[in-house]
Structure 1
Amino acid sequence: MSEQSRLMLVVSPLMESSPAFDRAAALAKASGAALHIVAFDYLEGLANAGMANEQAREQMRLGYVERHRQWLEDQARPLRKIGVPVTTEVVWVERPLQEILIHLREQPMTALIKALEHESTLSRLMFTPLDMHLLRECPVPLHFVSHVRHALPRRIVAAVDPFHRDGQYEGFNDRILREAAKLASTCNAELDVIYAHDLSSITANEFGFDNAAMFFSSSKAKELYDAQGDAFRELAERNGIPPERQHMIMGNPAKVLSSYADAYDIDMIVMGRVGHRGIGRLVGSTVEHLLYKMPCSIWVISPEILTDQ
């Protein structure tokens, strides 16, 4: 992170602290970044209070916003004392997604930090949570904080997939590794790199076979594995990752990454999201599958904006 970097921390409208406060403060302090703390408030009970006097309801709303602003200032004061430049803001808005995106356009940020809000599977099926919208649309690195063991990460893993056959995201893995290396240097953390490869996701006709059985019983499967290994090692080496920090593991990527993070007490996993311009959805959706399952926090890198096809 550069000396001029600025982090944005989105906090709960309920005036409650979370591990995201500690993580944001630690990252800001370690990197010399400024920190902007913003709450997007909306309490339905207060917004729809059954009062005949509209002015009285408005006064209650303004009073709540002011109390929240003062509460944020109380949280910011100790950080300023240790040299972290902190600004605070409270915005009353029912649907915060667009306001967050507007903030990111008008006030360029190095990263957006937010506590992960755990939603039930049923809830996620019925409506798309804010965190999922941010995962798909946030234009800057997005750090979902959960399961915090250390305010400043000590062990970081970068997850890459260097074997994109269409070349659409060429260079994206290098950017993931650069971001991860920068974070590790800032935090004085250990950095490992994982390529979780899953041959079952490969379509047989992509390699000229009529069925998967013929593909996996042939020498082509070994050729593919060797090609993947070569691509991974080349990627890691050109980004200065030593051999002992390179891990190529066969299996479903979501399961591999979750198990590795749990087994090795990983504090943060850095990974990329891959999407289609214009429809705002994930392809492969490894990040989506991991979001609510990882035993550590996630730092998500978005690809560069692609030109329209």
Structure 2
Amino acid sequence: MTSSLTLTPGNYQRILLIVDPTLRRTPAFERAAWLARASGASLHMVLFDRNRVIAAAEKLDHSESKMARESWIGEKIARLKEETMLLARDGVSATSEVVWTRSLLEEILIHVQEYQPDLVIKDTTHENLIKRVLLTPLDWHLLRDCPVPLLLVNSLAHALPKRIVAAVDIQPTSAAVEVLNDQIIHAALSLALQSDAELHLAHCFEVAAAIPMDPMGTGVEMAAELYATLEAIAIDNFAAICDRYGVAAERRHFLPGAPGLALAEFARGDNSDVIVIGAEHHTAMDRAMLGTSGESILQNAPCNVLAVKRAT
């Protein structure tokens, strides 16, 4: 990036890690610790969980179950305190807590509002047999409702981000899209600065499916001309966005095809570590809030995904 960039991101100040219930050093844990160390940010690790057996027993014997709950929470707190001490030895300012809850989403969003992190980090699962990232219902709700950038880390991602791809839209007349593009690039650049990573911009051009074709072949030439016209407009609009942010020519990627597959294939071939996308509401359905393109990106990405919600 050059000095003509209009955004001025700084170092992360606060990072919130949603701790895996197993309390293992998962890929999200490692990424959060590394980013905190690199940026000097404080790292707050929170386990949101409960023991269902103890919770059920509370209905029968409150005094005994209360002691069992306190013991269970105490064990988790002790484990996390061990991790905070190890992180402190490595130069990371870390704190931790355990939240007993049956409403994961509500508690997480409360903590996000109270802690005001620059970044929330959470693990996802990558299933090798079907080569897809498996997102839980909680992941989808967080993508819809988390007010700050959310980094979903899958188990196959590289440990350290060195190549980050921000996926932008190019609708020239939409103020909402322009705002979201700004926030996507701002979040991508912030992550790139913490990681000393390359920042690339990408746009997926999928217009052929929207051009009606006669099965008999009538109008093929007209359709081809329309495609060429729309493609030229899209290329110009994408170039304008890249120019605005001072993106070098070798870091501009105009990709033909459906966004989900095109971005995933590009990230795989280009060894990208993070894809940055906009988390935008499109319908009332939870999984449609990113649209089918966003869902496809999340499910097929061979790397981590940073989702950015447009500020309202």
Structure-2-length-normalised TM-score: 0.85
Residues 1:272 and 2:278 aligned together: yes
- Please tell me whether residue 6 in structure 1 is matched to residue 14 in structure 2: yes
Which residue pairs with 1:23 in the alignment? 31
Change in Cα spacing, 1:200 to 1:31, as seen in structure 2 (3 Å) is same
Amino acid at match of 2:36: A
Matching of residues 230-245 of structure 1 within 5 Å: 230-245=236-251
Contact 1:153 1:189 in 2 (8 A): yes
Counterpart-to-counterpart distance in 1, 2:51 and 2:282 = 34
- How many percent identity over aligned positions? 34
Provide the residue aligned with 2:105 in structure 1: 97
Structure-2 residue corresponding to 1:291: 298
Stretch moving more, 87-96 or 274-283:
274-283
- Aligned pair partner of 1:222 in 220, 223, 228: 228
2:92 corresponds to 1:87: no
> What is the Cα deviation at residue 49 of structure 1?
3.8
Aligned counterpart, 2:79? 71
User: Alignment partner of 2:178: what SS?
Assistant: coil
Partner residue, 2:215: none
TM-score, with structure 1 as normaliser? 0.85
Note if contact 1:143-1:298 (Cα within 8 Å) is conserved in structure 2. yes
8 Å contact from structure 1 (residues 7, 109) kept in 2: yes
Query: CA, structure 1 residues 150+284, in 2 after alignment: closer, same or farther (shift >3 Å)?
Result: closer
CA distance in structure 2 between the partners assigned to 1:200 and 1:34 by the alignment? 47
Task: Report the equivalent of 1:304.
Answer: 311
Q: What are the superposed Cα offsets for residues 148-199 of structure 1, whole Å, 9 maximum, x if unpaired?
A: 5543211211111112654432232133122212221221112222111110
Q: Which of residues 230, 248, 251 is equivalent to 2:254?
A: 248
DSSP-derived class of the 1:241 partner? coil
Which secondary structure does the structure 1 equivalent of 2:242 belong to?
A: helix
Give the AA of the match of 2:31: R
* Matching of residue 181 in structure 1 with residue 189 in structure 2: yes
What do the CA deviations read for 1:285-304 (whole angstroms, capped 9, x no partner)?
42222223211111111111
Aligned partner of residue 301 in structure 2, secondary structure: coil
The offset of 1:48, in angstroms, is 1.6
Tell me how far 1:52 sits from its aligned partner. 4.6
Contact 1:156 1:270 in 2 (8 A): yes
Judged with a 3 Å threshold, the aligned counterparts in structure 2 of structure 1 residues 223 and 194 are, in CA distance, closer, same or farther, namely: same
**C-alpha distance in 1, partners of 2:173/2:290?**
14
Q: Which has the higher contact order (CA 8 A, sep 6+)?
A: 2
Q: Is the 8 A contact 2:157 2:302 kept in 1?
A: no
RMSD, matched Cα:
2.9
| Distance of 2:198 and 2:66 partners within structure 1 | 51
The question of 1:155 aligning with 2:174 is answered no
Alpha-carbon distance in 2 for matches of 1:82, 1:215: 64
1:140 corresponds in structure 2 to 148
Following superposition, the deviation at residue 258 of structure 1 comes to 1.0
Distance 1:72 1:2 in 2: 29
C-alpha distance in 1 between matches for 2:219 and 2:43: 54
Partner of 1:56: 64
Structure 1 residues 61 and 14: alpha-carbon distance in aligned structure 2, compared to 1, 3 A threshold: farther
Deviation at 1:15, TM superposition (A): 2.6
**Counterpart in the other structure of 1:124:** none
**CA shift digits 1:12-44 (9 cap, x unpaired):** 223333111100011111111111000011222
Matches of 1:180 and 1:220 in 2, distance apart?
A: 33
Q: 1:174 to 1:161 in 2, by over 3 A?
A: same
Per-residue CA distance 1:46-85 (angstroms, 9 max, x = gap): 3224885331122111111111111111111121122221
Give 1:202 shift: 3.9
Alpha carbons of structure 1 residues 271 and 215: separation in structure 2 relative to 1, 3 Å:
farther
Instruction: Describe the SS at the equivalent of 2:277.
Output: strand
CA contact (8 A) 1:158 1:270 kept: yes
Residue identity opposite 1:219 in structure 2:
E
Aligned partners of 1:2 and 1:31 also within 8 Å: no
